A and B are shown apart, each in its own frame.
Chain A
Amino acid sequence: MLELEGVNAGYKDLQVLWGVSLRVGEGELVALVGPNGAGKTTTLRIISGLLKPTAGSVRFLGRQLDKEPAHRIVEMGIVQVPEGGRVFTGMSVQENLELGAFTARARKEKEQTMKWVYQLFPRLEERRHQRAGTLSGGERQMLAIGRALMAKPRLLLLDEPSFGLAPILVEQIFEMIAEINRQGVAVLLVEQNVRAALELAQRAYVIENGRIVGEGSGDALLSFESVRSAYLG
């Protein structure tokens, strides 16, 4: 459903991405892994329209994305969970979720989606009237994901959901991501936690210095020699 082909991109004079091509199929869970500064977040910014490519093409469900503004792309069904969650700390959990259903498409089904999100994250329902700023790191990440789900994504983009979380929480969050994917939402997961991401994903891409250097099923990459030595030690 999502296809990047030969995408170049960067900031001012600094080119970050060099001919990046990748693909996410309907209902797939794909991981994009690589070291710090490899271009993972930049790739996500390209997909969600916050940054425009200087060359190459981005297509979603057969439509060209590279000219669309960010808010239109959300309307089309690509929703990003930004790194660190970026919840609205001054608002309650419930208000955060309500803001998630901002697009016209999501608004119609707001009540049902919220029930679904509370089912996925019972913890959020317990804290619905609490201010988001008082949540723990793990709960914030849940809220950020829940808020993105409120926008009714067809494709969910996750930027480092494990960032700053204790291992036990990472496991829980990843379990939730798998569950969300099982319920039919395609996921593109960007991670530095390579092992966990590869175990979770059906397919994965390895990115280094702005270039895709490896592609395969998660299991295959896990046993791939260069990946093992570079990331898994």
Chain B
Amino acid sequence: MLSGLTTGSIYALVALGIVLVYKATGTINFAHGDQLMIAGFLAYTLHVMLGLPYLVAMLGAVIGSFLLGALAERIGFRAVLRSNLINVVLATLGLSFVLKGVARLTWGGISDYLSFPPLVSPDPIMIGDLILLPQQLVVTAGALVVMGLFALFFRLTTIGRAMQATADNPKAARLVGIRVEHIHMLAFAVGAAVAGAGATLMAPLTLLYPDIGFTLFIKGFAAAVLGGLTSLPGALVGGLAIGIVEALAAGYIHSSFLEVSAFIAIMLTLVLRPRGLMGGPPPRRA
């Protein structure tokens, strides 16, 4: 249950990036998980191989993936965003494979699974009958902080408001002088940056390997769909719900149900209530 909350908060961070890109551009970024994976490897390089402190590594991973997201948007997506949906989805899928290949060639040689050193002491704390792992608490708290910062950015800064306006109505946003192309680029970049933060938080709990991106993507994606693809609070609720359901399914049914519960959640949500728990109507595409 508690570990479900921890993984759930990670999924929520992944979902946040997916929802952000979907709201701004009306498409799903299939490379989101792989951007996260790359950020994890960046953090590993900075923290473990270069010996920088954890927070610096986190900052580096966030900035790195921000730039990577912006670059990917400029090269791959701007040209196709205005054409049909099939092309956009395929372009993000293509990027996903490129990133995976790059990771395999760059970091795959060291060993198949890289382990990230723990942040705090791995000894569990006992409160009554509850066993708490400090590591999990740190990760959950970190994820919540990132989400809080993100919400503030969205509500309070001019850029955040411009992004909301673009999501709401791209034509009107253009009329009041917002550069919609820049907003799209920013959405991809900020989405990737959130993924970067998520990756750095998550890395000490899991191992790093090139194929982790897709696994996380599908979980975050299930969270986003469950919460409603257009709702940022929905992403949080969906993420926590998926995390808990997974933990319960693995605990009470069979451990192999851990993987499959996310897919079942996606299918059920889409069939029964395509808008998800908290979603509104789909965004208009620019």
Q: Do A and B come from one complex?
A: no
